[in-house]
Structure 1
Amino acid sequence: MQLMSPMQRSMRKLSEVARHVVVPSGITSTGWPAVEARIKDFGDEFDEWQRGTSKLILAKRENGDYAATVGGITLSIPRQVAKTYMISRIVFALCTLFPNLTVLWTAHRTRTATKTFASLRGFAGRKTVAPYVRTVRAVNGEQEIHFTNGSVIMFGAREGGFGRGFDEVDVEVFDEAQILTEKALEDMVAATNQSRFPAGALLFFMGTPPRPSDPSEAFKLRRREALSGETEDAVYIECSADEDAEPDDREQWAIANPSYPHRTPLRSMLRLRKNLPSDESWKREALGIWDSDQQGSRLITDDEWRATGVEAAPADGIRSFGVAFSFDGSRVSVAGAAKHDGGIHVELVDAQSGQMASGIASLADWLAERWRKTAMVAISGRAGTDALRSALLERGVSKSAVHVVSTPEYFASSSMFYDAVKDKTVTHLATEGQAVLDQSVAVSDKKMRGTTGTWGWTVTVPGGDETPVEAVSVAYWAARTTKRVPGRKQELI
């Protein structure tokens, strides 16, 4: 391959350099022009692919909100591609354009956070930038850049607990996002709930493909969700070499790194090659290639699931049912739960696929035969829910016994059931008849929703079915939360 000239490489579009670009829906405008003008005032310019990335990052919907304010911006980009340069210029521009903006810039390691702070401290001292900066603090463990308009960027390492206890945060940058624990994410994302940023808070997740040993579920889930086409409110950009690339093929270096060789010189790549410990590390960190074993993760481990299995159901208990429809209504699962003195027991009753019109009728018949001895029938899922509820009411089931699960309640059911499995306060049948549920648990993981740490179930292999684990989660939630006792006289009115 004949290498392009520096000018030609600088003019390549994002679509020409990135392996994956996932775009939010409903984009009508972007806040990039004002930010680009300020970056030029600073004395910097972006390559064309960086300009395309920035337009997406700051894309807005018709109501003026950032299109990615819910799902965030995830960048899986190799080292030596100047992603810190790009994001830092955007953040500095936003801080100077919007008064009282609060930014948290975090890395996993203290060393990385300190290095980034030192670099941006130098940038803050540039003649064209300094007039916007009031002071730079680097004492008593605080690393902060304060702007004359009241904006501030605070730097810290997640391994040291940085990020907890903040509120009214407008922008969060998660550097080294491939090493981002769920606990750290939950601690920090909540800080944006009271953001005053007019277009909504911005969350940046920047990293390289994780090692197998990294606590990387948050980063992997964002990639999985983006590539599956299940997100409409997030930006995902991935630059990488071909999956079968030879480590020392410099043509693949140019494919993976849009800044090589015109901005990232050969000597920098050779230095990185020499200092990374293995070909596998090089392929992940310098070429951006994800390990093939990233697919198929599960939230509930096999050991956790086995530890809560029992050979026989309890003899008594207050019964509830959970029904979970898939997003498109093509699949449905039904589960039962019994609340007894020792806790809550759950079982999968049935799982069906295909057209559900006739299935809803037979399901409604089955539930209607049992409702008088049931505390709650909880129904979850956008498709099929209304039809099943109507069918139950037509069959004489009391309104008080049928509950359509709201989105927050669905999120609560997922986390409550998972916590119960971890705490061993729930049991399930460990028999051959529950194989479909076992298979669902084995391929189901968290799918983060929004910026508050809430999540629901998602499958991580093609052809997997999340509805069985959703059904037992909803049934568990119903059994645990309902105060209705079947058989009371007022329920028959």
Structure 2
Amino acid sequence: MAKASPTTKSSTFRLSEVAQQVRPPAGVVTTGWPAVREKCRDLGITFRPWQNPVGQLILAKRETGKYAASIGGTGMSIPRQVGKTFLVGAIVFALCLLRPKLTVIWTAHRTRTAEETFGKMQAFAKRKKIAPFVEKIVLGSGEEEIRFTNGSRILFGARERGFGRGFDEVDVLIFDEAQILTENALDDMIPATNQSRQDTGALLLFMGTPPKPKDPGEVFTRMRTEALAGEDDDTCWVEFGADADYEPTPLPAPLEERDWEQIARANPSFPEDTPREAILRMRKKLGPDSFLREGVGIWDANTSRAVVDPLSWDGVKDPASMAVANLALGISATPDRSTATVSLAGQRADELWHVEVDEQRGGMSWVVRHVADRCAKNDIRAIVMDAADPAVSLVDEFKKAGFKVTITTTREASAACGQFYDSVIDTRDVRHIDQPQLNVALSLARKKKLGIGWVWDPLNSPGDITPTTSMTSALWGARSTNVKRPGRGKQTSSERRAVVM
């Protein structure tokens, strides 16, 4: 969607000029924003042009005077370093002063985030024009509070510590880090707003970035899905982000002009409030997928950048698949050696190829014994590892056990990746049994360019991809003639039985 530059200075421009998605609740006739903006002006707080229409939507009201999104809440998907804490903090400070005895609960998932937010709000409270209205700043262990002289208060805490349970008569409920918001936390906290004493009804805000693959992001994702589908008239959704098909220039190359254009689309505070240095810092510290989600606000970065698309992978599944010949094992470990995976590949009776995860466990001490047991039970033609994989540290242990291991060179590893890709996308001559751990690992696996080819990139993949890397090695071992026969090892039959036990 084409948008005007976020550096537009007009105070009347539409939010759609800077936001990627805007879905207001139904029935909006007025907003509480003008009163809040004027109170903020009295307090010495001013806003950027883009923040005005966001404030108007957050405080939008229906003809009854109730907040239009009081039931479903307002969701904001917004990258880091944009200024959401400043905007929302200013809104709740103004509301606390405009509405005596207002109770605000501001909760984040992590303790560190909650403490950082409280620190920023402390600075707000100590401003010269605000301090006279603040009765006390309460410093507690995970439950900090700002109390106002008119009885209003803002409480801060982390959901990971159980903060938010047991409150009642809550008027404003803010879910920071909403991409890590569980159903249980929502169930614990939403009832607290049922007894709001405000004539406007309760105000609910959900703020976050697109969830990571391992985040419990169902609540935030469902809110977005229903709002964008037009299925929820009681919910407001505002989303800032780059274009969905944007692919940043990979490190270590510098960002190009097209990158900065996308960053400007995603971050309306760039470059006035968020300098280039801040963007470059995020790019360097975050992985490629994390930068897409948290740096430029792209949803579905997990699947849009997958090497093998889910539809193609689903098209070669066969739950009844089984290898009967040319069996090979592939071994891979995570960079920190906390998890290892052994995969098996081979040829089926119909001469198609078969892949599956044979075993995945924590640590690496179990790998050699497991492989020895597998070799005792089956005619394994090769045990394969990538020379760059942490699992190669097991080679000496395999030698002591009497097994020969095939170590693929960089060139062979690249060929193995290309071979697997072609088998799924082009020739479609490989089958898998629809194992969840392999499906997830393949969706997370990213590639690293290598000359004219590529290899899997575990360091820049957003999760454990050892099922993918070990499976790729196993398939190469099943199909290649350049492998070492592993042998039967030095164990006696009784020792192999002991391994199984």
The two structures have a TM-score, normalised by structure 2, of 0.57
Matching of residue 268 in structure 1 with residue 269 in structure 2:
no
CA distance in 1, matches of 2:165, 2:34: 34
The equivalent of 2:86 in structure 1 is 85
TM alignment of 1:221-232, pairs within 5 A: 221-232=222-233
Q: What secondary structure, in the 3-state scheme, does the structure 1 residue paired with 2:283 have?
A: helix
Q: CA deviation at 1:8?
A: 3.2
Q: CA deviation at 1:12?
A: 4.7
Identity %: 57
Q: CA deviation at 1:177?
A: 0.3
Q: Say if 1:56 and 1:6 are closer, same or farther in 2 by CA, change over 3 A.
A: closer
Q: What secondary structure, in the 3-state scheme, does the structure 2 residue paired with 1:48 have?
A: coil
The equivalent of 1:129 in structure 2 is 130
Structure 1 residue runs of 4 or more that deviate by more than 2 Å after TM superposition: 3-13, 139-142, 292-295
Q: CA deviation at 1:73?
A: 0.5
The equivalent of 1:205 in structure 2 is 206
The count of aligned residue pairs is 295
The equivalent of 2:153 in structure 1 is 152
The equivalent of 1:355 in structure 2 is none
Return the match for 1:284 from 275, 278, 293.
293
Partner amino acid for 2:9?
A: Q
The equivalent of 1:235 in structure 2 is 236
Q: What secondary structure, in the 3-state scheme, does the structure 1 residue paired with 2:9 have?
A: helix
The equivalent of 2:139 in structure 1 is 138
CA distance in 2, matches of 1:146, 1:294: 45
Q: CA deviation at 1:28?
A: 1.2
Q: CA deviation at 1:56?
A: 1.1
CA distance in 2, matches of 1:294, 1:25: 32
CA distance in 2, matches of 1:40, 1:93: 10
TM alignment of 1:413-432, pairs within 5 A: none
CA distance in 2, matches of 1:258, 1:234: 23
Matching of residue 257 in structure 1 with residue 267 in structure 2:
yes
The equivalent of 2:31 in structure 1 is 30
**Structure with bigger gyration radius:** 2
CA distance in 2, matches of 1:84, 1:105: 11
Q: CA deviation at 1:4?
A: 6.0
Unaligned runs of 5+ in 2: 249-254, 305-501
Q: CA deviation at 1:139?
A: 3.2
The two structures have a TM-score, normalised by structure 1, of 0.57
CA distance in 1, matches of 2:68, 2:237: 12
Q: CA deviation at 1:48?
A: 2.1
Question: Does the aligned pair in 1 maintain the 2:134–2:149 contact within 8 Å?
Answer: yes
Question: Does the aligned pair in 1 maintain the 2:70–2:201 contact within 8 Å?
Answer: yes
The equivalent of 1:491 in structure 2 is none
Question: Does the aligned pair in 2 maintain the 1:76–1:288 contact within 8 Å?
Answer: yes
TM alignment of 1:325-340, pairs within 5 A: none
CA distance in 2, matches of 1:53, 1:253: 19
The equivalent of 1:76 in structure 2 is 77
Question: Does the aligned pair in 2 maintain the 1:14–1:48 contact within 8 Å?
Answer: no
CA distance in 2, matches of 1:40, 1:232: 32
Q: What secondary structure, in the 3-state scheme, does the structure 1 residue paired with 2:180 have?
A: coil
The equivalent of 1:194 in structure 2 is 195
Question: Does the aligned pair in 1 maintain the 2:178–2:206 contact within 8 Å?
Answer: yes
CA distance in 1, matches of 2:39, 2:204: 21
Q: Say if 1:262 and 1:12 are closer, same or farther in 2 by CA, change over 3 A.
A: farther
Offset from partner CA, 1:106-153 (integer Å, 9 cap, x none)? 000000000100111011000011111111010354310000100000
Question: Does the aligned pair in 2 maintain the 1:13–1:48 contact within 8 Å?
Answer: no
Offset from partner CA, 1:218-260 (integer Å, 9 cap, x none)? 0000000001110111110001101121224111100111111
Q: CA deviation at 1:271?
A: 1.3
Partner amino acid for 1:98?
A: R
What do you get for the CA RMSD once the two structures are aligned?
Answer: 2.2
Question: Does the aligned pair in 1 maintain the 2:19–2:241 contact within 8 Å?
Answer: yes
Offset from partner CA, 1:434-489 (integer Å, 9 cap, x none)? xxxxxxxxxxxxxxxxxxxxxxxxxxxxxxxxxxxxxxxxxxxxxxxxxxxxxxxx
Q: Say if 1:30 and 1:139 are closer, same or farther in 2 by CA, change over 3 A.
A: same
Q: CA deviation at 1:202?
A: 0.7
CA distance in 1, matches of 2:33, 2:72: 19
Question: Does the aligned pair in 2 maintain the 1:117–1:143 contact within 8 Å?
Answer: yes
Q: CA deviation at 1:104?
A: 0.5
Q: What secondary structure, in the 3-state scheme, does the structure 2 residue paired with 1:178 have?
A: helix
CA distance in 2, matches of 1:294, 1:80: 25
CA distance in 1, matches of 2:148, 2:193: 20
Partner amino acid for 1:35?
A: V
CA distance in 2, matches of 1:124, 1:8: 29
Q: What secondary structure, in the 3-state scheme, does the structure 1 residue paired with 2:236 have?
A: strand
Partner amino acid for 2:279?
A: M
CA distance in 2, matches of 1:87, 1:235: 15
Q: CA deviation at 1:6?
A: 5.2
The equivalent of 1:312 in structure 2 is none
CA distance in 1, matches of 2:150, 2:39: 15
CA distance in 2, matches of 1:22, 1:5: 19
Question: Does the aligned pair in 2 maintain the 1:95–1:101 contact within 8 Å?
Answer: yes
Offset from partner CA, 1:64-95 (integer Å, 9 cap, x none)? 11101011010001111101111110011000
The equivalent of 1:49 in structure 2 is 50
CA distance in 2, matches of 1:31, 1:11: 17
The equivalent of 2:59 in structure 1 is 58
Q: CA deviation at 1:197?
A: 1.4
Q: CA deviation at 1:168?
A: 0.6
